[in-house]
Amino acid sequence: MTFEYLAVFSPLLGFIISFLFGKKIGARGSQIVTCGLMFVAAFSAINLFFSVILGGTQYVVPLAEWVSSDFFSANWALRFDTLSVVMMCVITIVSTCVHVYSVGYMSHDPHRSRFMSYLSLFTFAMLMLVSADNLLQLFFGWEGVGLASYLLIGFWNTKDSANSAAMKAFIVNRVGDFGLALGIMACFVVFGSINFETIFAGVESKQDLSVNFVGFDVHALTLIGLLLFTGAVGKSAQLGLHTWLPDAMEGPTPVSALIHAATMVTAGVFLVARFSPLYEYAPIALMVITIFGACTALVAATIGLTQFDIKRVIAYSTMSQLGYMFFALGVSAYGAAIFHLMTHAFFKALLFLGAGSVIHAMSDEQDMRNMGGIWKKIPFTYAMMWIGSLALAGVPLFAGYYSKDMIIEVAYADQTWFGDLAFTFGIIAAALTAFYSWRLILLTFHGKPRADKHVMDHVHESPPVMTAPLLVLAVGAIFSGAVFYNGFVGGHHDAHHGEAAVHAEVTPHAGDDMHHDTHAEVAHAEEGHHDLFAALNDRNLFWQNAIKVLPENDTVDAAHSVPFWVKKLPILMSALGIALAYIFYLVAPSLPALFSKAFKPVHSLFFRKWYFDELYDYIFVKNSLRLGLWFTWADRRIIDRFGPDGFANASAFVAKCSSRFQSGFIYQYAFVMLIGLVLAMLWIAPFDFSGLIDVLKSNFGK
């Protein structure tokens, strides 16, 4: 049981120690503590990976009660199944690399302790996210990684651009969280629980349920699916809520590698994969996911073509690759999506850290227009960037080849219009990906040096503390595809196995009833232990029940028998992209300028990022401020004016009027009294003056 705790809580401990006692133990102390604890976490996670894969067990470690209000209850708990241990391995390995790399990269920064502590905080939150066994803990991790991202993007907090980017990341993500939160509530209302087990067990019986949402009767599972996906759109920077990701590059480069490439942004992919039992019964939600993913893959790639900031190019590449993962999810190829998530984590972290190494070497220059001709000076980094790019472009034998091609194949195999759309966009984006990857390499490393002499003299290879992590990631970027292909997406589909094990669960935990326990026993009896080779060669053994695919939706199976041209097309497109990049940036360097002039509107559309930022600024930011000012005015001029101030003024006015009567002059008082007397008499005896007249006559009329 100790590995479970070590894997998740070591980073937390690292965070607490280096955050609270960073001053006492010094920067070096913080680095040693956080890195050491990350090694512990990574080791534990790998251990867990093997025990879950080999043991064929899935289980939940309950920790404590969190929120409990009547039926709405959520516990702190750690859930271990294939999906979560795969994620944990990716997170801890990449995070360890980034921790170590940061020791070198941030060596001149005065706030190294704080930086290391934030990295560990992020890792902890991410681990809590993937090991959640209920939606609320997932939400905790979800917001926790958002917080860490906010803190790290704005790490250089005297820079205005960094502060803006941090705020933007937080707020745009909150838009997604809004959907996720509603999704959690919808889950609670539909299933009466927010525990994964209860939800997944209830999906089948609710597959025809309609619920009322804001006045419309909608299919319950589709509603939940779409609301949860809204969260994923925000966190995973899909089209519409992606604008924060490129800006997030304001953070230090290790942050970009860890959070904005390898792990946090893939949380949305994880969420959808985790909810595969639900999405399988929500085909419309899956369709939406496919379309979003396909469009994101293409749009991001087009923007990536035109950017000059080395990190932004990679950021758009990340966004594009996330699009790939999403359309894989959308066609029910959850295994393929997670497979690409893993390989992508390695090669994209490698690319980012490599870019960091370049930036480090170039005295913090990020604009590729000011680079060039440095490959001989930093050969190791150059080689690493090549490996990363080869993997990204999907060149055979590198990791991306296995995962990305698989995704394109499943999109084809889906045989629906949106599957075809995704396939087409995916193919085009593949060529664009190869093009911008080599554009990056050629602009950065080749050609004539465009930096000034002072900078060029300082170009140097990074210290071993930075190159060693690159090496580890490079190993992943090369081999992770070939080694894990069969486990993630290989093997034959066994419908019977899949069906039988659908609800198989899990060591009993709080709130589980007898029903589940019996299932768990059945599952154990059926599966038992198997050897590593078998597990890594059959996706059913590998995934067990962590993801669920209905037999008729099993595109991964169908993808193994797609036509020959479908299998070969992605490689062809990549080759085309690479060749074009060579022509554009090495053979005839005047071509890009010519092209951008000839296709001016298209180029500016791409270069200005499809005008999303301008649009949002105009619609949301400006109007919120305008409304805020208007409401402030309304508070003063409407509510106060007719409320308390009006009341006060009115009573003051009345008081003023009545005070006129108290002038202090006797004759005025006497006059008023006289008038009053007359009026009173008139009132008592209206129009009857006969008596008065008689009296007057008798006295004066003589």
Partner 1 sequence: MFDLPVLSLMTFLPLVGVLFIVSVRSTDEEVMARNAKNTALFTSLFTTALGVYLAMQFDPADAGFQFVERMEWFPSLGISYYMGVDGISLFFVLLSAFLVPICILASWHSIKTRVKEFMIAFLILESLMIGTFCALDMFLFYVFFEAVLIPMFIIIGVWGGARRVYSAYKFFLYTLLGSVLMLVAMLVLYAQVGTSEIPVLMENPVVRDLQIWLWLAVFASFAVKMPMWPVHTWLPDAHVEAPTAGSVILAGVLLKMGGYGFLRFSLPMFPEASEVFAPMVFWLSVVAIIYTSLVALVQEDIKKLIAYSSVAHMGYVTLGIFTATTQGIEGGIFQMISHGLISGALFLSVGVIYDRLHTREIGRYGGIVKNMPKYATVFMILMLGSVGLPGTSGFVGEFLTLVGIYQVDTLVTLFAATGLIVGAPYMLYLYRRVVFGKQVNDDAAKMSDLNLRELSLFIPLVAMVIYFGFFPGYILDRINPSVDRLISTYESGLQKGEMRRAALLEAAQVKPAAGLDTQAVGTVPAFAPVHTDDAMDGGDLPMPIINYNE
Residue ranges that bind partner 1, judged by CB under 8 A: 64-70, 72, 76, 136, 139-140, 143-144, 147, 154, 157-158, 160, 163, 167, 170-171, 174-175, 177-178, 181-182, 185-186, 188-189, 212-215, 624-625, 627-629, 631-632, 635, 639-640, 643-644, 647-648
Shortest Cβ distance from residue 399 to partner 1 (Å)? 34
On whether the CB atoms of residues 100 and 465 are closer than 8 A, the answer is yes
Nearer to partner 1, 177 or 197 (CB): 177
Shortest Cβ distance from residue 211 to partner 1 (Å)? 9
72-80/210-213 β-pairing: unpaired
Rg (CA), the chain: 34
Nearer to partner 1, 139 or 485 (CB): 139
Nearer to partner 1, 625 or 692 (CB): 625
Nearer to partner 1, 213 or 607 (CB): 213
649-685 as b/e: b if 16+ CB within 10 A: eeeeeeeeeeeeeeeeeeeeeeeeeeeeeeeeeeeee
Alpha-carbon gap, residue 372 to 520, rounded angstroms: 60
Nearest to 387 by CA among 358, 436, 428, 346: 346
Nearer to partner 1, 155 or 270 (CB): 155
If one counts every other C-beta atom within 10 angstroms of the C-beta of residue 572, the result is: 13
Question: Residue for token digits 């993962």?
Answer: 325
If one counts every other C-beta atom within 10 angstroms of the C-beta of residue 617, the result is: 13
| Lookup: tokens for 94 | 């990449």
Nearer to partner 1, 19 or 607 (CB): 19
| Lookup: tokens for 440 | 């990056």
> Counting beta carbons within 10 angstroms of the beta carbon of residue 588, is it exposed (0 to 12), middle (13 to 18) or buried (19 or more)?
exposed
Shortest Cβ distance from residue 135 to partner 1 (Å)? 11
Nearest to 265 by CA among 320, 335, 307, 331: 320
Residues ≥6 apart with Cβ < 8 Å to 575: 434
Find residue 67's DSSP bridge partners: 74
Nearer to partner 1, 70 or 688 (CB): 70
On whether the CB atoms of residues 219 and 177 are closer than 8 A, the answer is no
Nearer to partner 1, 168 or 548 (CB): 168
210-213/216-219 β-pairing: antiparallel
Nearer to partner 1, 165 or 478 (CB): 165
Shortest Cβ distance from residue 584 to partner 1 (Å)? 41
Q: Concatenated DSSP letters for 182-221?
A: HHHHHHHHHHS--BHHHHHHHTGGGTT-EEEETTEEEEHH
On whether the CB atoms of residues 32 and 101 are closer than 8 A, the answer is no
Please state the φ and ψ torsions of residue 80, each to the nearest 5 degrees: -120, 110
Nearer to partner 1, 70 or 552 (CB): 70
Alpha-carbon gap, residue 215 to 607, rounded angstroms: 42
Alpha-carbon gap, residue 699 to 695, rounded angstroms: 6
Q: Angle, nearest 10°, between helix axes 2-20 and 112-130? A: 150
Shortest Cβ distance from residue 373 to partner 1 (Å)? 36
Nearer to partner 1, 184 or 556 (CB): 184
Nearer to partner 1, 132 or 451 (CB): 132
Shortest Cβ distance from residue 374 to partner 1 (Å)? 33
3-state helix, strand, coil in the chain (%, to 5): 75, 5, 20
Alpha-carbon gap, residue 153 to 548, rounded angstroms: 36
On whether the CB atoms of residues 310 and 256 are closer than 8 A, the answer is no
Determine the 3-state secondary structure of 371 from DSSP: coil
Question: Residue for token digits 């296995």?
Answer: 402
Shortest Cβ distance from residue 20 to partner 1 (Å)? 10
Residue 236 carries which DSSP code?
A: T
Nearest to 422 by CA among 284, 320, 339, 346: 320
If one counts every other C-beta atom within 10 angstroms of the C-beta of residue 479, the result is: 15
Shortest Cβ distance from residue 70 to partner 1 (Å)? 4
On whether the CB atoms of residues 123 and 92 are closer than 8 A, the answer is yes
Shortest Cβ distance from residue 147 to partner 1 (Å)? 6
Nearer to partner 1, 252 or 490 (CB): 252
Alpha-carbon gap, residue 27 to 47, rounded angstroms: 30
Shortest Cβ distance from residue 244 to partner 1 (Å)? 13
Shortest Cβ distance from residue 163 to partner 1 (Å)? 5
Total count of residues recorded for the chain: 702
Nearer to partner 1, 142 or 339 (CB): 142
Nearest to 347 by CA among 476, 535, 230: 476
Shortest Cβ distance from residue 364 to partner 1 (Å)? 19
Shortest Cβ distance from residue 345 to partner 1 (Å)? 25
Nearer to partner 1, 182 or 336 (CB): 182
Shortest Cβ distance from residue 655 to partner 1 (Å)? 14
Shortest Cβ distance from residue 255 to partner 1 (Å)? 17
On whether the CB atoms of residues 232 and 176 are closer than 8 A, the answer is yes
Alpha-carbon gap, residue 49 to 58, rounded angstroms: 11
Shortest Cβ distance from residue 159 to partner 1 (Å)? 9
Shortest Cβ distance from residue 193 to partner 1 (Å)? 12
If one counts every other C-beta atom within 10 angstroms of the C-beta of residue 66, the result is: 14
Nearer to partner 1, 243 or 381 (CB): 243
Nearer to partner 1, 417 or 630 (CB): 630
